[in-house]
Amino acid sequence: VREEADADAVRALAKDLSLPDVLCRILAVRGVLCPADARTYLRPTLPELYDPAGLADADRACIRIERAIEEGEAIVVHGDYDVDGVSSATLLTNRIRALGGRVTPFVPHRMRDGYDFGPGGLAAASAVAAGLIVTTDCGIRAEEAVEQANQAGIDVVITDHHTPGSQLPKAHAIVNPNREDCGYPNKSLSGTGVAFKLAQLLTRRRGGSDDELWPDLDLVGLASVADLVPLDGENRILVRYGLRALERTTRPGLRALARRTGLEAGKPIESGQVGFQLAPPINAAGRMSDAMKGLQLLSSTDAAEADALAQELVALNQERRAEDRRTLDAALESLEARYVSERDFGVVVAGEGWHPGVIGIVASRIVERIHKPVVVVALESGRGRGSARSIPGFDLFAAIDACGHLLERYGGHRQAAGMDVDPLRLPDFADAFNEAARVQMNGQVPHPEMRADLEVCLSELTPDVHQYLRYFGPFGIGNARPVFVARSVSQAHAAKQVGSGHLKLFVEQEDNAFEAVGFGLATRVPPESLGAGPLDIAFQLRENTYRGRTQLQLRLRDVRPAARTGS
Ligand SMILES: [Mn+2]
């Protein structure tokens, strides 16, 4: 549990904002200490977004695009095969077309072309005799492809958000907040965020108003949530308004997808629904088939076509899920025989016939279970393709880099990485990776941590607390939904297991009773292990509608028999 909130700050906030005390305490423990900051946090506005002209090379990029528009030169907008990649490509394609440009959008095929601007993109540019390629969400490390484009007389403008290498490609312009010489304050824009900023500057330079651009925030919101950028600072504003733009979107593809993934029309969309419902079918196109289908969905102007595409992507996502479950089962089975928690600090698991499109997801699922960094390798005709996921506090890329001599190709960052590995070197790689992880962890087996914002008494959790919590969102990485802890609550009925491994409790404190549900929690905490005595619980506050009645519900994160003293 975070440190106790500063009492003076809480009093000042409560007096000025007339918000329930619990919420003022959350603000204070999250570092929002004065009423003015609290008002900006609770009601951020679009004019607070940073000036796009602050991005290095943004003017130069605009000037080149404007020249292409004026001269009728063919332009290829080159995205990537995930949600951020297709959203950014759609956004910039539409914007440049609206300004009169001749644009062909392109996203690489995951299996055929692989990640990044490369031969596939160059071929697409030659096919339409393009004089200009504008990348979105990729390109910052595509030195070779840029060189080849230059030789072919094609200029390249890169827009990207990934970390640059030691040398920048020799592109005509490079717009990336993570360029060392870029003074733009928000370094964690999504790729679509960067594309939006460039579109904004282009539109302003052509005499247009920002108002034309706000509807495009639907794509920025979608992509920022899907790409897991931190939802604080400017990103939080973009996503707050992005979710509203999504609710009102006129894009037939997004409307069809929302309908087909069970989002209720006219209801506020939450970031969680974007991450778990809207984004996966678009990603499934790239994983299981061709990401161009995702791009077509987002760009479609025809309701019937859009609905057919949405249906296809939802089906691909079901296929992806089945593949993902099958691979997870196989990987867990292979691990079960040999995994030793005290010995294995970094785990490599490989199998024939695993779909390379799902190994990243499977690696995440295994990390959830064993809380160790995990590499999953799909073997196919003498090749190994791996995807790795990390745990908090562990630098995955550093560990992979330490095994670099055993790998053919690799890249990534602290949380995720990918690699090509020769199947014959797999045993050596597995040993080296485990050793690198052990050294980085100083031989200490890591334990998962859960952080709570606040300790509360259940009587403090009134319905208006939940109402006002909406203003703390959108929630996600960098702005977590508040987690509360309540100690020594009594059980009104015995705990029980419901559905597939969910834990259900009825808890009481000072005459306030709540239903509490822990999804999947019963596998870790069997109901009989809790006894009948008082409990300590960690939970989030949610609303649950059942048979037309809406009630507050506690979503359990963890529970244990009450500790007698302190924590
Ligand atoms: Mn991205």
Q: Residue 426, Cβ neighbours under 10 Å: how many?
A: 18
For residue 2, the CA-to-ligand 1 centroid distance in Å is: 32
For residue 175, the CA-to-ligand 1 centroid distance in Å is: 14
Distance between CA atoms of 281 and 313, rounded to whole angstroms? 5
For residue 194, the CA-to-ligand 1 centroid distance in Å is: 10
Q: Record the tokens describing residue 173, joined without a space.
A: 């312009």
Residue 332: strand, helix, or coil: helix
For residue 85, the CA-to-ligand 1 centroid distance in Å is: 6
Instruction: Report the helix count and the strand count for the chain, using DSSP H and E.
Output: 19, 16
For residue 524, the CA-to-ligand 1 centroid distance in Å is: 34
Q: Which residues of 95-118 are buried (b: 16+ CB within 10 A; e: fewer)?
A: bbbebebebebbbbebbebbbbbb
- pLDDT tens by residue, 144-192: 999 999 999 999 999 999 989 889 999 999 999 999 999 999 999 999 9
For residue 137, the CA-to-ligand 1 centroid distance in Å is: 5
Q: Which residues of 180-200 are buried (b: 16+ CB within 10 A; e: fewer)?
A: eebebebebbbbbbbbbbbbb
For residue 203, the CA-to-ligand 1 centroid distance in Å is: 23
Instruction: Let me know: does 387 contact 396? Beta carbons within 8 Å.
Output: no
For residue 421, the CA-to-ligand 1 centroid distance in Å is: 24
- pLDDT tens by residue, 396-426: 999 999 999 999 988 888 888 999 999 999 9
Burial of 252 (0-12, 13-18, 19+ CB in 10 A): buried
Half-sphere exposure of 251 (CA within 13 A, CB side): 27
For residue 501, the CA-to-ligand 1 centroid distance in Å is: 34
For residue 536, the CA-to-ligand 1 centroid distance in Å is: 40
For residue 392, the CA-to-ligand 1 centroid distance in Å is: 20
Q: Residue 567: its pLDDT value, please?
A: 44
Helices marked H in 134-173: 143-151
Q: Angle at Cα 433 formed by Cα 427 and Cα 438, nearest 5°?
A: 130
pTM for this entry:
0.91
Q: Residue 163: its pLDDT value, please?
A: 87
For residue 191, the CA-to-ligand 1 centroid distance in Å is: 5
Distance of CA 307 to the CA centre of its chain: 25
For residue 289, the CA-to-ligand 1 centroid distance in Å is: 19
For residue 550, the CA-to-ligand 1 centroid distance in Å is: 37
For residue 161, the CA-to-ligand 1 centroid distance in Å is: 7
For residue 436, the CA-to-ligand 1 centroid distance in Å is: 28
As a 3-state breakdown, the chain gives helix, strand, coil percent values, each rounded to 5, of 45, 20, 35
| CA distance to 208, 223, 555, per residue, from 50 (Å) | 18, 19, 36
Instruction: Let me know: does 140 contact 164? Beta carbons within 8 Å.
Output: yes
Q: Angle at Cα 5 formed by Cα 4 and Cα 6, nearest 5°?
A: 120
For residue 155, the CA-to-ligand 1 centroid distance in Å is: 22
For residue 80, the CA-to-ligand 1 centroid distance in Å is: 8
Beta-carbon contacts of 378 under 8 Å, excluding residues fewer than 6 positions away, are 350, 351, 353, 354, 355, 356, 359, 384, 385, 386
For residue 367, the CA-to-ligand 1 centroid distance in Å is: 22
For residue 190, the CA-to-ligand 1 centroid distance in Å is: 6
Strand ranges across the sheet with 155-159: 102-106, 74-78, 132-135, 155-159, 173-175
For residue 135, the CA-to-ligand 1 centroid distance in Å is: 12
Q: Record the tokens describing residue 36, joined without a space.
A: 């003015």
Distance between CA atoms of 300 and 401, rounded to whole angstroms? 42
Distance between CA atoms of 279 and 473, rounded to whole angstroms? 19
Q: Residue 566: its pLDDT value, please?
A: 47
For residue 84, the CA-to-ligand 1 centroid distance in Å is: 5
Instruction: Let me know: does 95 contact 216? Beta carbons within 8 Å.
Output: yes
For residue 228, the CA-to-ligand 1 centroid distance in Å is: 9
For residue 280, the CA-to-ligand 1 centroid distance in Å is: 15
DSSP assignment letter at 31 = T
List the pLDDT tens digit at each of the 567 positions of the chain.
888 888 999 999 999 998 999 999 999 999 999 999 999 999 999 999 999 999 999 999 999 999 999 999 999 999 999 999 999 999 999 999 999 999 999 999 988 888 889 999 999 999 999 999 999 999 999 999 999 999 999 999 999 999 898 899 999 999 999 999 999 999 999 999 999 999 999 999 999 999 999 999 999 999 999 998 999 999 999 999 999 999 999 999 999 999 999 998 888 999 999 999 999 999 999 999 999 999 999 999 999 999 999 999 999 999 999 999 999 999 999 999 899 999 999 999 999 999 988 999 999 999 999 999 999 999 998 999 999 999 999 999 999 999 999 999 888 888 889 999 999 999 999 999 999 999 999 999 999 888 999 999 999 999 899 999 999 999 998 999 999 999 999 999 999 999 989 999 999 999 899 999 999 999 889 999 999 999 999 999 998 888 888 889 999 999 999 986 544
Q: Angle at Cα 360 formed by Cα 355 and Cα 363, nearest 5°?
A: 105
For residue 305, the CA-to-ligand 1 centroid distance in Å is: 27
For residue 162, the CA-to-ligand 1 centroid distance in Å is: 7
For residue 224, the CA-to-ligand 1 centroid distance in Å is: 8
Half-sphere exposure of 288 (CA within 13 A, CB side): 20
Q: Angle at Cα 529 formed by Cα 523 and Cα 531, nearest 5°?
A: 140
For residue 382, the CA-to-ligand 1 centroid distance in Å is: 30
Task: For residue 490, report the phi and psi dihedrals to the nearest 5 degrees.
Answer: -95, 160
Distance between CA atoms of 194 and 256, rounded to whole angstroms? 26
For residue 275, the CA-to-ligand 1 centroid distance in Å is: 14
For residue 205, the CA-to-ligand 1 centroid distance in Å is: 26
Q: Residue 564: its pLDDT value, please?
A: 64
For residue 185, the CA-to-ligand 1 centroid distance in Å is: 18
Distance between CA atoms of 289 and 318, rounded to whole angstroms? 13
Distance between CA atoms of 349 and 248, rounded to whole angstroms? 44
Instruction: Let me know: does 505 contact 491? Beta carbons within 8 Å.
Output: yes
For residue 34, the CA-to-ligand 1 centroid distance in Å is: 34
Side chain identity at 136, as an amino acid letter? T
Tell me which residue of 125, 168, 164 sits closest to 148, measured CA to CA.
125
Beta-carbon contacts of 189 under 8 Å, excluding residues fewer than 6 positions away, are 161, 177, 197, 229, 234, 235
Distance between CA atoms of 264 and 447, rounded to whole angstroms? 39
Distance of CA 532 to the CA centre of its chain: 40
Beta-carbon contacts of 392 under 8 Å, excluding residues fewer than 6 positions away, are 449
Side chain identity at 268, as an amino acid letter? P
